[in-house]
Structure formats: C-alpha cells, structure tokens
Amino acid sequence: MDKNRRKHERLGLAIPVRVQGYLAGGETWEEISTTIDVSERGACFPLNRAVELGHVLRLTLGLPKRLRNFDTTDSAYRVYSLVRFVERRSERARVGVLFFGQFPPRGFQERPEGRYLLPGDALHKAPRAAGAAKAEASSVTPAQPAAPQAAAAPSEPVGPPVTPAAPVPDAPTSDFLPSEDGDRRSAPRLDVFVNFLLQLADAQGTILQQELTVADNISRGGARVMTTLSFHAGDVVLLQEAGGAFATRAEIRGISRVQPSFERLHLRFLDRQAPDRLLR
C-alpha cells in the first residue's frame, strides 16, 4: 500500500464557503470562496486574504453530511479550521485547512489572531517578514482543544468558548442600497445555508453573468445571497437551487456592501415560494 496515500480521500467538490478570519482586538474579516476539494478532515480553496500556517479560520459551507463530525442535521457545517498550507500561484493563494472542530483551540479567546501549530510544525514553514521572528514566536501556540475548565478561575462556570462576534448582517449601514419603493417582510427569515446558481439574463434569455453562491438567510418569499458580481437594485435574476428542484425569478430589493470584493443581495421571489425542506 502506498504509505503516502491519504487515509481520508479528498473529493473534488465545488462548494461555496464563507471564510471568517480573525484580527487583533477581536475584529473579523470575511471572504466568499469555492472549495477545490473537501474531505472529512479538511478542505482546499482559493483565498485573496493573506493567511499563514496555524491561523484559525471559521468556515461555513454545505459539506455533505457523510463527511461531517457534528451538525449533521443542519443545512450548513460551521467548523473552526487551522491553515496547514498556503500556495500562491497567482493573485489568489491556494489554502489548505484542517478541520479542528466545533470549538476553537485553547487560547483562542485571548489571541484570536495567533498561530496555532501542531506537533512537528516549524516556524519556517510559513513566510514571515524579516526581523519579525521575536514577535511571531510570542503569537504561536500549540493547537490544543479548549480546556473544559478554566484553571485560573475554577469557581466560575465555564461554557463553550466565546468567539468574536461577526458583523451583524442586517445592521443598518450607509452602504445599504434599497430599491425605490422598499418592502416590508411578510414572513420571518431563517439563518439556513443553501447553495444557489445565480444568473442574470437579458430579454431573449441569454445568460449575461452567473455564479455559484450561497444564501445565508432565507424565508418563504425571499433570501439573502452573497455575490462577487455587479448588480443593481431592481434587477430581476434567476435563482436555481444547486442540486435541487427549486427555481424562481427574484427581484433584487436591496444590496448590502460587505467588503469591496463581495456584496449581499436581498431578494424577493417572484414565481414561487421556497419549499418547506429549505426552511428546516
């Protein structure tokens, strides 16, 4: 048997993934990507943001349930991951991560921006600026699961690790561009994740632009989807469930700029309501 053969085979699946990274002071950043391959133990995907060996990333993706270690009944898999390799071939680096678990490594609450290395890792595996060795060494921690109890304060109850809050998706912002008449939601929206093919077509049905994306919020009458393409409030798009039967035209009721590289589209379904199976 080939001893270099992976114990967990990787599958070449293109799955939209939301990547959340952490900065000093508890600030976070987000980027949308698509996996190159996945397995039970990790994933590989392109990334614009600069990361290094040992950085913690929290991924949200529609990983096949047979590859999950938890969240097997949820539509999305949310997992803390450790960067294991970074290979820069063009403007976007190819990043490989190891799924760490439902909770981050020990020490993450104090240093979310730190690097958490596994036994046998060496600092020289990750590129760093000259003269940064001393500062870098202080930010490197062996990757271990969070302790079940806090030794410094044993009398206080300890729950799951508290992670820095991500930006609130529906928070008012000067970058929100509503449609002219606005609308009032008639149905509650649920934080579930569904993969969609998003298309913009002309009057003759010719596809002008399209991308595989993910909705991170959905109701019977609408959804909020992420995009890296250029749209305008009032545009009518085609929305097709990836690998499923649900499809509808949808009107863009508003646009939220999240980062210069991507936006969230607030959609109202025009042809049909979302089926029950997407709302669980």
pLDDT at 277: 82
Identify the sign of the CA torsion 168, 169, 172, 175.
positive
Assess contact for 199 and 249: CB atoms under 8 A: no
- Determine how many CB atoms are found less than 10 A away from the CB of residue 172: 8
CB 56 within 8 A of CB 108: yes
Q: What is the predicted pLDDT for the residue at 203?
A: 78
258 φ/ψ sector (left φ>0, alpha ψ -120 to 50, else beta): alpha
Residue with tokens 């991170």: 216
In angstroms, the CA 209 to CA 78 distance is 29
Measured distance CA(175)–CA(59) in Å, rounded: 25
Q: Residue 239 to residues 80, 177, 196, 244: CA-CA distances in angstroms? A: 30, 21, 6, 11
pLDDT at residue 45, rounded to an integer: 95
pTM here is: 0.54
Determine the pLDDT at residue 140: 62
pLDDT of 186? 55
pLDDT per residue of the chain (280 residues) written in tens, 0 to 9: 444 444 567 888 889 999 999 998 889 999 999 999 999 889 999 999 999 999 999 999 988 888 998 888 888 899 999 999 999 877 789 999 999 888 888 888 889 999 988 766 765 444 433 333 333 444 566 666 554 433 333 333 333 433 333 333 333 333 434 444 444 455 666 777 777 888 888 877 788 888 878 888 889 999 998 888 888 999 999 998 876 788 899 999 999 887 666 788 999 999 999 988 887 7
Q: How many residues does the chain have?
A: 280
Domains observed in the chain: 16-142 (2.40.10), 176-279 (2.40.10.220)
Q: What is the pLDDT of residue 144?
A: 61
Query: The tokens 């060996």 sit on which residue?
Result: 53
> CB under 8 Å to 154, separation ≥6 — which residues?
none
Q: What are phi and psi of 257, to 5 degrees?
A: -80, 120
Residue 242 burial by Cβ neighbours in a 10 Å radius (0-12, 13-18, 19+): middle
User: What is the token pair recorded at 221?
Assistant: 């009458």
Q: What's the pLDDT score for residue 197? A: 82
Under a CB-based contact definition with an 8 Å cutoff, are residues 83 and 140 in contact? Answer: no
